Amino acid sequence: MFSVPVETALYELLGVSTTATEDEIKKAYRKKVRRCTSLLNPDDPEAGQRFQEMAAAYEILSSVETREAYDRYGMEGMSRGGAGGGFGPGMDPADIFAELFGASMGFGFDFGPGSRGPRRRKGEDSNIPYEVTLEDLYNGKTVKMNMEKEVVCGVCKGSGAKGSAKPKQCVKCEGKGWTMVTTSLGGRLGTHRAMCTECEGHGEKLREKDRCKKCKGNKTVKEKTRQEIYIERGMADRQRIVLAGAGDEEPGIPPGDVIFTLKTKPHDSFERSGSDLLTTVHITLSEALLGFSRILLTHLDGRGVHVTSPKGKIIKPGDSIVLRGEGMPHYKTPDHKGNLYVMLEIDMPEESWLKTIDPQALEAILPPKKPEMDPKPAVVDEVPFEASDIVDVRETPFPAGSNFFDHPSGFQFGDGDEADWEDDEDDEDGEPECRPQ
């Protein structure tokens, strides 16, 4: 158990309580770092500083020794010799990043020759959301598209230099690729390493006149490519299609991947649940009473689906049927399909129809009306008949101080107070942790 800390700034920075477990601290830091790196701007020192502060807070609180020192003495305990306590003698941000996310994910920092941080093993992946229809996922589809990517410059072969020119040592960082930065952490000043903004962490820089004319010293140029993806039958919403090595190129490392993430558009008629489909079909009162034999619906591949109801069966409101093998194809085994569930909704005849028939003749063949109540209540009031919409009733809020079980109807009115619910994994509408300026 940890003692009550004299300072709580580091806990507040990560958004955890002072009694948080090691797993809770790690989870909170992962969440904030993911958001931070998506917003991190190399030209914005405040964003970089914010990330460094969170990394320093995680390093201190993730270790039992440094956390105990911080809880007992605050940041002063760090300056007295607590292990870690900054990114000079302690861990590098890249080390923490690699520990949390793994180098295989392509993360990592390159702060030049003097850095202990790992270099990225491949180029950055390009993530592209791609909208598809339910028909696309049912039938399969081939998509061809024009794209633009970064490729290694063919003139300088990725060196960025003109001819045999060589880069010079960066004056600002003296070739280390990083500089020492002083920041305020928990009300105390601390120093840590930060990527040199002058040479972008490389430790060396080309003079303007020595840069390649084609790529302007950037080492890569933009090139238009044509990509093709195949949406296989039965693929799921949010499924990824990966084109390995089709992403942007960088000198010295393999190119990243192009990753398409499928996003299914809502369908007018069908709803998908795994390998099953759900739809609603309207039938007439005559079909509900006497049966039907007709094309009930047009499927996602354009086929008409003919169904014959059993003789002598009366279909009641809310009834449903299942059409075996008419659901979604199974991914990788499209010859096997799920089921199609059909909700049958009975359409009552229009009032104009009633005027075309003899009501007494109709009453003679229909089931008898319900008899009067027996025994009859002692007091009977005549109340006028008036059509209404149940939606109006459901929107009526509970009286103050009442709840669901107090209401005589037993209905749940209103949508509830969503503000009472909180999802610690989904607060994208909240204030971002690292805000680029």
d(CA 131, CA 420): 33
Q: Name the residue type at position 346.
A: I
Averaged pLDDT for residues 365-381: 92
Element (H, E) at 193: strand 188-195
Strand partners for 334: none
pTM above 0.75, yes or no: no
Has residue 42 got a pLDDT over 80?
no
Higher pLDDT, 192 or 157: 157
Look at residue 124 in the predicted model and tell me its pLDDT: 86
Nearest to 89 by CA among 11, 192, 177, 181: 192
Specify the DSSP class assigned to residue 376: P
d(CA 50, CA 390): 53
Range in 38-47, 91-100, 230-239 the model is least confident about: 91-100
Q: pLDDT tens digit string along 287-316?
A: 999 999 999 999 999 999 999 999 999 999
- Maximum average pLDDT range among 25-29, 75-79, 123-127, 209-213: 209-213
Q: pLDDT tens digit string along 381-415?
A: 999 998 887 766 666 555 555 554 444 444 444 44
Look at residue 63 in the predicted model and tell me its pLDDT: 83
* Look-up of token digits 């003789």: 311
> Is residue 32 very low, low, confident or very high in pLDDT (cuts 50, 70, 90)?
confident
- Joined tokens for residue 245: 């090595």
Averaged pLDDT for residues 146-156: 94
Peptide bond just before 375 cis, omega within 30 deg: yes
Has residue 248 got a pLDDT over 80?
yes
Q: What SS3 state is found at 235?
A: coil
| Domains of the chain: residue spans and CATH | 9-117 (1.10.287.110), 126-167+206-264 (2.60.260.20), 280-352 (2.60.260.20)
* Look-up of token digits 């790196």: 37
Higher pLDDT, 194 or 25: 25
> Over the Cα atoms of the chain, what is R_g?
34
Higher pLDDT, 350 or 91: 350
